[in-house]
């Protein structure tokens, strides 16, 4: 009986082993599927234009939270990192233009256009001043130069504020003041009457008028 039971026991053991080994890959597959499952959309969006110092890290009860702006609700660090990865993925998916300009949304293209428009006005004002100087054969600064400088400076100042570029904001803010002041002085000088220049030499004195003849002749006595 023992030799007859041996194959049955071996077959039963193989079946049990197959069941046990068959369940393990199923659990591992489920674990892997859980790892590669699509993540839910992040609850917060990360602005890639934000400076590092604008993002604060706070620890509460052993957990790290991110403060995106003063007074804003705290965001768990893992959620913020997930949102950061989503922002980079969105930027890569939109193409090389978004990566080259370092933007993530189509609305940012409007600000890029504002910056290019300001730079174009700055270039145009220099060409205009060059043309006016060549025409007069001397160095002149037309009024349109200051208007182009003011318009271009305002556009570039707005662009640098959006970019959060301190160097550009300081440079353009002082420039806008100078351009506006020159236009004010030009307007004030045009409003004043032009004084007639006075000669430094005294006017020549005219001789006294000669007596008018009366028409009567005198005879000697």
- The percent of residues in the chain predicted with pLDDT above 90, rounded, is 33
Per-residue model confidence (pLDDT) at position 216? 56
pLDDT higher than threshold 50 for residue 165:
yes
Query: Where is 125: in which H helix or E strand?
Result: helix 108-136
Task: Give me 49's structure tokens.
Answer: 């234009």
Q: Which residues contact 39 (CB under 8 A, 6 or more apart)?
A: 82
d(CA 176, CA 137): 29
d(CA 136, CA 102): 44
Per-residue model confidence (pLDDT) at position 149? 95
pLDDT band per the 50, 70, 90 thresholds, residue 24: very low
Residues facing 65 on adjacent strands: 58, 76
> In angstroms, how far is CA 161 from the centroid of its own chain?
6
Per-residue model confidence (pLDDT) at position 58? 79
**Are the C-beta atoms of 108 and 67 separated by less than 8 Å?**
no
Query: Where is 32: in which H helix or E strand?
Result: helix 2-35
Per-residue model confidence (pLDDT) at position 200? 63
- The percent of residues in the chain predicted with pLDDT above 70, rounded, is 62
Lowest model confidence (mean pLDDT) among 6-15, 76-85, 108-117, 141-150: 6-15
pLDDT band per the 50, 70, 90 thresholds, residue 217: low
Phi, psi of 205 (to 5 degrees): -75, 135
Per-residue model confidence (pLDDT) at position 56? 77
pLDDT band per the 50, 70, 90 thresholds, residue 129: very high
- Taken in order 141, 146, 147, 153, the sign of the CA dihedral is positive
Per-residue model confidence (pLDDT) at position 110? 92
Q: 13-22, 59-68, 131-140: which has the highest mean pLDDT?
A: 131-140
Per-residue model confidence (pLDDT) at position 64? 85
pLDDT higher than threshold 90 for residue 124:
yes
pLDDT higher than threshold 60 for residue 2:
no
> In angstroms, how far is CA 194 from the centroid of its own chain?
44
């Amino acid at each position: 009986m023992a030799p007859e039971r041996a194959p049955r026991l071996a077959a039963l053991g193989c079946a049990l082993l197959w069941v046990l080994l068959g369940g393990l890959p199923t659990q591992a597959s489920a674990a892997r599927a859980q790892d590669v499952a699509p993540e839910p959309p992040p609850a917060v969006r990360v602005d890639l234009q934000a400076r590092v110092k604008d993002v604060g890290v706070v620890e509460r009860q052993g957990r790290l939270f991110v403060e995106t702006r003063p007074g804003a609700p705290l965001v768990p660090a893992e959620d913020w990192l997930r949102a950061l990865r989503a922002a980079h993925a969105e930027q890569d998916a939109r193409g090389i233009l978004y990566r080259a300009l370092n933007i993530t949304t189509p609305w940012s293209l409007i600000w890029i256009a504002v910056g290019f428009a300001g730079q174009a006005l700055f270039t145009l004002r220099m060409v205009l001043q060059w043309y006016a100087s060549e025409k007069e054969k001397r160095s002149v600064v037309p009024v349109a130069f200051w208007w182009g400088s003011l318009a271009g400076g305002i556009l570039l100042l707005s662009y640098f504020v959006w970019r959060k570029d301190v160097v550009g904001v300081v440079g353009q803010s002082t420039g806008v003041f100078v351009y506006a002041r020159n236009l004010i002085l030009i307007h004030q000088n045009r409003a004043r009457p032009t004084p007639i220049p006075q000669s430094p030499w005294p006017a020549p004195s005219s001789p006294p008028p000669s007596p008018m003849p009366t028409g009567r002749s005198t005879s000697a006595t």
